[in-house]
A and B are shown apart, each in its own frame.
Chain A
Amino acid sequence: MIRTISTYQQTDTLRQLISRQKQQLDQATKELATGLKQDVFANSGGSASKSLQLRAAMSANDAYLVSNGRLASKLSVAADVLGEVQNAASEFLTLAAAGDIAAMNRDTLKLSARDAIDRIVAQLNAAYDGESLFAGTSTNKTPLSIGTDEAGQLTVTYLGDGKDMTARLDDTTELSYGIRANEPGIASLLTKLSHVVNADLDAMDHAGFNAFRDDLVAALGQSTIDITAIQAELGNAQARVSSKISAQEEMTKIFSNAILDIEGVDAEEAAVRLEGLSVQLQSTYEVTARMSQLSFLNFI
């Protein structure tokens, strides 16, 4: 018996072949163009779930980067403010400690104290992006207000709360960074300066004023040391945030690479595949055309 090949089947096979090759060609083209696998879930051996999680982690990382960047500038504003406070304190200290007492105009000392209070309060009342920096978590309140009590004495009142501000640096790290205007160093500085403003300096004799002045210089010296400690603490926080930022910038690259490892295609491999497939498809077309011309009908 002679075995034949069904004419219908012959063309059908060629059609199926062409359609399959075209699908593969389409996939290779897309993969080459996008650099990503056409179906990650089918072609990454079960690591697609990892890739989804990496993408989620990367977007969280990016959001932390932005919010940490904002935190870093907030802290740097706070550091500037503290620097200004420190300047005002030490300028007054220089004036108080310097020169001959006899030569010193006691009114000038009073005026300078008042000026220092104004400068310090104005600095500490600074807001960043509409939020008070030194009022604890009561960011909507101005932390310090200058007033007078019933006896006509100058007072500086703290209006914020006692809670520290916290920030989330990443999923697991929280940073408590609040510098409040009622921290001991700042509070004692303001109290001492108010004393100068409120004291009746003219009524003091030479020895009394000397003692007052020595006491003032010592107290202000201590405040300056305390504020320096606060600055150091703030500096630590700034360092933590900035090292977190560099780590997160690094993480973005690591995430991208890890995602690309799972989802990406090797461009050269895809190009070679595309080349091979187009040659193959071309030959299939040629064979199909030739076969269709080959018929016994042409010879009878």
Chain B
Amino acid sequence: MSLSSAIGAAKSGLTTTSIQAELVARNIANASTSGYTRKSANLMTTAGGGVYVATIDRQVDSMLNRLDRANISKLAALETVADGMKAYTDFLGQPDDETSPVASLASLKEALITLSGGVSDRSAQLAVISAARNMASNLNSLSDTLSSIGGEVEMNIRYDVAELNTALYDIAALNKKITAGGAGSDLVSQYQDQMDQLLQTVAGYVDIQTVTDNQGIVTVLTGGGVELVSASSVHDVTYDPGTGRLRAGQNDMTPGNSSRSFTAGSLAGLFELRNGTLPSWNGELQGIKDALVDGFAQAAPLGNDAGLFIEAAGKLAVNPAVDPSAGGDAGLLQSGGGDLAPGDGSIVNAMLGVFSTPQGGSASLTEMVATIVAGQQQLRADKDAAVTLTSTTAATISASRENLQGVNVDDELQRLLLVEQSYAANAKVLSSVTEMLDSLLQAV
């Protein structure tokens, strides 16, 4: 115990308060940075009675972090699928928009009913051809929409894979820096912030599990247990569009199609669209096209073996034999190519019968198309509801996490007052002790 050790203690007080002031400043500066964790100095007493900053603590709750990441993955998958579905179902519209195949089918039937009132009426025949053309172009444009969404999905898988790899390499690089930095140092606490942000980025693409060792080095695995990053080495994620396989290194992790697939993240959503939703919806559209082509061909062959509709090169079209714009004769709608008298409505009647023919599990063609359209819209609405639900849960978890880890400016300002007082007190001690020493020197 001496005056000089008092000077030492006061000096250490000044040093620590300046570090604390810096931390407060950094906290306030990052108050609006998402993912920033509040830093505080952990103070210890030195052997000589002074004070030093033992470690810079980050406020983290690893469980909340994990839950938050899981929600990010789940939400990303749901949103990806919901967005993909919506891009298509927007074209189906609401029932009163009358843009769906149900409405086109109803218009076609309407035109045929009008024609049945005067089967040789030229303008009524042309109205049927035009309604049939609308029906065909409606279905074709829906198929086109699905295939363009398919193209978009392929492109997004590639983008996501590229961005995922970038994030994985950043994680590996950070692991290297953390090893070099030394646990508990100020630098490492900043690296760990970056690490958490990177892990959140990765969780947006793939659902992950992480293992952190006591040094702070993070191993990243997918939800299905495929290793993505271990220490400083990365298992590159690759996508083969030909086989549709997604791999990390040599390990197959294709969502929904492998024993070690992952289930969430935007990539899982993209694969659900690619392998589930899009092919199944395309199949349903094809079912409608087939029903139209076959139904009309069987009920009312128009001169050749084909009915009102034909399918060529994957596109539905009006039979060119009856389509005047393709050089055909709309009169075939009445005569069917035979020598029926002009008042004979048997062909038109047979065509009207197609609409009430049972199709598979449906009581009629109209019911089948309505069921398909409503079914697709229902799936979209269900996904929308799931997105809303998950985003509410996700927001709650992320709010708790942010509240625990984030910065409250008022609180930091109060800390600053404390730091200020402590700095002033330490400075006062220093000046008083110096005065005491001075007066001692003068006395000598």
Contacts and interface: CB of A to CB of B under 8 A. Distances in A.
**Same assembly:** yes
Nearest to B377: A41
A296 B105 CA distance: 67
B370 A53 contact: yes
Contacts of B373: 49, 52
B367 A53 contact: yes
Given A8-B34, A55-B103, A137 B344 contact: yes
A39 interface: yes
Interface string B337-360: 000111111000100100110000
Contact of B366 (A40, A41, A56, A165): A56
Interface string B201-216: 0000000000000000
B342 A9 contact: no
A56 B407 contact: no
A246 B399 CA distance: 63
Interface residues of A, number: 60
Contact of A8 (B106, B117, B402): B402
Contact of B31 (A8, A70, A161, A259): A8
B405 A300 contact: no
Contact of B117 (A41, A42, A67, A295): A67
Nearest to B409: A7
A62 B110 contact: yes
Given A48-B374, A56-B366, A4 B117 contact: no
B370 A4 contact: no
B280 interface: no
Contacts of B413: 296-297, 300
B436 interface: no
Interface in A266-296: 295-296
A9 B349 contact: no
B114 A42 contact: no
Contacts of B100: 52
Given A8-B34, A70-B118, A168 B113 contact: yes
Contacts of B31: 6-8
Interface of B: 31-34, 94-96, 98, 100, 102-103, 105-107, 109-111, 113-114, 116-118, 120-121, 340-345, 349, 352, 355-356, 366-367, 370-371, 373-375, 377-378, 380-381, 384-385, 395, 399, 402-411, 413-414, 417
Given A7-B410, A48-B95, A166-B345, 19 more contacts: A3-B404, A6-B406, A7-B32, A8-B32, A8-B33, A46-B378, A49-B373, A56-B370, A60-B110, A63-B114, A66-B117, A71-B117, A131-B118, A132-B343, A137-B344, A138-B341, A140-B341, A140-B343, A163-B343
Interface of A: 2-9, 12-13, 16, 36, 38-42, 46, 48-49, 51-53, 55-57, 59-60, 62-64, 66-68, 70-71, 129, 131-132, 135-140, 161, 163, 165-168, 171-172, 174, 259, 263, 295-297, 300
